[in-house]
Amino acid sequence: MEIISTTKKMQEHADSVRRLGKTIGLVPTMGFLHEGHLSLMREARKRTEHLVVSIFVNPTQFGPGEDFDAYPRAFERDAARAEKEGVDVIFAPVETELYTKEFQTYVVLEKIPKHLCGISRPTHFRGVATVVAKLFNIVKPDTAVFGRKDYQQFVLIRRMAIDLNFDIEIVGFPTVRESDGLAMSSRNSYLTPEQRRSALSLYRSLIEGRKLVKSGIKNSSRIIDSASKLINSHKETDIDYISICDPETLVEMEIIDRPAIMALAVKVGKTRLIDNMMLNPSEGMTDDPSAY
Amino acid sequence: MEIISTTKKMQEHADSVRRLGKTIGLVPTMGFLHEGHLSLMREARKRTEHLVVSIFVNPTQFGPGEDFDAYPRAFERDAARAEKEGVDVIFAPVETELYTKEFQTYVVLEKIPKHLCGISRPTHFRGVATVVAKLFNIVKPDTAVFGRKDYQQFVLIRRMAIDLNFDIEIVGFPTVRESDGLAMSSRNSYLTPEQRRSALSLYRSLIEGRKLVKSGIKNSSRIIDSASKLINSHKETDIDYISICDPETLVEMEIIDRPAIMALAVKVGKTRLIDNMMLNPSEGMTDDPSAY
């Protein structure tokens, strides 16, 4: 496994791989790799011949007062985990390599960021779209794999890739969960044992929502009310949003008369957690990727 | 010469050229090709082995009330001229190929568009940066050649390519002029014979500015005043701006104590024309590319 830290070397490496006729897979991460990330690597490995994982805590997707400085970093452990998964290259640039003093170009989407997390994090998705466009131009992948845990990020990147004609297959991989259902996230490391118990209410409220849809309830507000009550009954929880929305546009749906995404963001203590599931009125709720 | 109209075919073609180890040159145009465009093609031809010219009148860079519908189009003549220059591929998509109904992603620069033409055309450079990013991803060039007549566009694209890490050499080619000095432009075709005479005042005011700098004048406002008087003495002229500014940032310079760009935009009748020249206080003004 090779570790590359400059844009120029990464582009030269990508060119040399492509000249050999090999396909490149990219898994962009902010590091602190967990089983969720590893499953994305395995998916990319299956689809491509040369696997690149980027590790970069991207400053432009953190707002003022968010956890950029506190974000957990563990490069040595990440490198060992990546190597074990058969990763060919880790691309790990320093901040000044990607953002020079003169930097002024952003990729912005007009609609998708106006929903869900974009409301309380108004510059977040501009930062995400921009850094992913940069990584696409640096790593030159054929396929890039993203987790559906960050569902809004996934649909944003898929839309950006279509709109800017990136010749890259965008894959969304199902959320990987702890054995009790908590969606895996690097931010789970912030949680105290008591907060960890409260954090499970996100998953439980999604499962409760699924049951309600299965029982024939089509009214989003009833499902959202039930989820709110469940989450608020746990300590240290503060709901940012609970939304039932169109899986592509993220526009809210009052009536669940077709597949919908139920997505939520909850602060547990100081830690902001997100989760989502597909609601399908004909089958109940599912995490199965074929349903997306 | 091949004419390709779909994104998918163009990307497949680019991949096949690259697999042969050949370099690709791109000259993006809005068609109605004149000697200025042809000189860009010759420059790209010199630098690369496979030459692609795109022809697309890009709607997103025209504002409301601008000349999108009137913009001159002459595809058959353009194709003949391109073929004569040894162009390998014309990429000529229809509008719906590049902008679907769901399109919502733009490339925006925070500083460069706040100067010169960006003031009276507030969405123009967003459209330019976006369509050029799209063309880069569709044509996959090693080198792209732009005219310095559209000076602000050139520095914008150069900045965008650096900021988004496009692995593409951006070349700015000197302005090609008619024998009397008028900068070549597809929009010159709108001019009546009398307006054509007035249009020459743009070039003459730049030459006059050069003489003043050569004579030792360093005060931008004196040069701008002189240019204003010269242009206003011609019929049907209406100055949008005359600016003397930093060649990279386009920030106005009050004192010409280092190389500066003198740039102007003037409406002649209903036709908006632009031109620019480098002012160099140590050598007078030059159009020589090595001076940029």
- Strand A237-245 and strand B237-245: pairing? unpaired
Report chain B's terminal Cα–Cα distance, integer Å. Answer: 34
Is B11–A167 a contact, with Cβ atoms under 8 angstroms apart?
A: yes
- The answer to whether residue B292 sits within a structural domain is no
Distance between CA atoms of residues B150 and B161, nearest Å: 17
State yes or no: pLDDT of A12 exceeds 70: yes
Cβ distance B163 to A103 less than 8 Å, yes or no, reads yes
For residue B284, the model assigns a pLDDT of 46
Percentage of chain A exceeding pLDDT 70: 97
C-alpha closest to that of B151 among B187, B188, B125: B125
Best A99, A167, A249 member to test B by mutation, with max B CBs in 10 Å, is A167
Mean pLDDT for A179-184 is: 97
Is residue A37 over pLDDT 90? yes
CB atoms within 10 A of CB B90: 22
* Any domain includes B50: yes
Count of domains in chain B?
2
Residue B207 within any structural domain of the chain? yes
Distance from CA of B259 to the nearest CA of A (A): 19
**Same domain? B152 vs B13:** yes
Q: How far apart are CA A141 and CA A67, in angstroms?
A: 29
B19 and B135 both lie in a single domain: yes
pLDDT at B291 over 70: no
* Min Cα–Cα distance to chain B from A166, Å: 5
Residue A66: pLDDT above 70? Answer: yes
Same domain, A207 and A262: yes
Mean pLDDT of B224-237: 98
Q: Which residue of B has its CA nearest to A158?
A: B105
- Same domain for A115 and A192, yes or no, is no
The answer to whether residues B130 and B106 touch, using CB atoms and an 8 Å cutoff, is yes
> Which ipTM score applies to this complex?
0.95
Give the whole-number percent of chain B exceeding pLDDT 70: 97
Cβ contacts of A140 on chain B, cutoff 8 Å: 167
Is A180 domain-assigned? no
Which CATH number fits the domain that encloses residue B126?
3.40.50.620
Question: What's the CA gap between A174 and A147, in Å, rounded?
Answer: 6
Q: Which of B129, B148, B173 is the last residue of a domain?
A: B173
Q: Are A132 and A272 members of one domain?
A: no
Q: Flag whether B291 is in a domain.
A: no
Residues B199 and B124 in one domain: no
Q: Between B19, B106, B137, which is nearest A165 by CB?
A: B137
Per the structure block, which two tokens stand in for B194?
Answer: 């009398």
First to last CA, chain A: 34
Query: Are A165 and A56 within one domain?
Result: yes
- Is B134 an interface residue toward A (CB < 8 Å)? yes
Q: Of A114, A140, A173, which residue sits at a domain end?
A: A173
Span A128-158, pLDDT tens digits: 999 999 999 999 999 999 999 999 999 999 9
Q: What is the pLDDT of residue A291?
A: 43
**Per-residue pLDDT, A289:** 47
Residues B37 and B168 in one domain: yes
The answer to the question of residue A178 being in a domain is no
Residue A181 lies in a domain: no
pLDDT at B282: 86
Residues B159, B33 within the same domain: yes
Are A152 and A49 within one domain? yes
In the sheet that holds B284-286, the strands lie side by side as B237-245, B260-268, B271-280, B284-286
Whole-angstrom distance, CA of residue B167 vs CA of residue A11: 7
Beta bridge partners of A183: A177
**Predicted confidence (pLDDT) at residue A100 exceeds the cutoff of 50:** yes
Query: Which of A105, A111, A112 to probe by mutation at the B interface, max B CB count within 10 Å?
Result: A105
DSSP sequence for A173-188: EPPPB-TTSPBP-GGG
Considering only the beta carbons, identify the residue of A134, A160, A163 that sits closest to B165: A134
User: What one-letter code names the amino acid at A260?
Assistant: A
- A156 in the same domain as A22: yes
Residue B143 clears pLDDT 50, i.e. is over it? yes
Tens digits of per-residue pLDDT, A231-248? Answer: 999 999 999 999 999 999
Average model confidence (pLDDT) for chain A? 96
Q: Are strands B50-55 and B24-29 parallel, antiparallel or unpaired?
A: parallel
Chain B residue with CA closest to A134: the answer is B164
Q: Is A165 on the interface with B (CB under 8 A)?
A: yes
* CA distances (Å), origin B208, targets A203, B180, B258, B266: 73, 15, 18, 16
The answer to whether the Cβ–Cβ distance between B159 and A105 falls below 8 Å is: yes
The residue range of the domain holding A128 is 2-173
Q: Is B76 on the interface with A (CB under 8 A)?
A: no
Same domain, A95 and A206: no
Mark whether A234 is an active-site residue: no
Determine the pLDDT at residue B288. Answer: 53
Averaged pLDDT, A49-66: 97
Q: Hey, are the CB atoms on A167 and B106 less than 8 Å from each other?
A: no
- Count Cβ–Cβ pairs < 8 Å, chain A vs chain B: 93
> B289 lies in a domain?
no
The answer to whether A239 and A198 are in contact (CB under 8 A) is no
Note whether A215 contacts B: Cβ–Cβ < 8 A: no
Last residue of a domain, one of B144, B173, B202: B173
CATH number at residue B216: 3.30.1300.10
Identify the CA nearest to A240 among candidates A72, A70, A124, A158.
A124
pTM, two decimal places:
0.96
Q: Measured between CB atoms, which of B21, B129, B166 is closest to A137?
A: B166
pLDDT of residue A286: 53
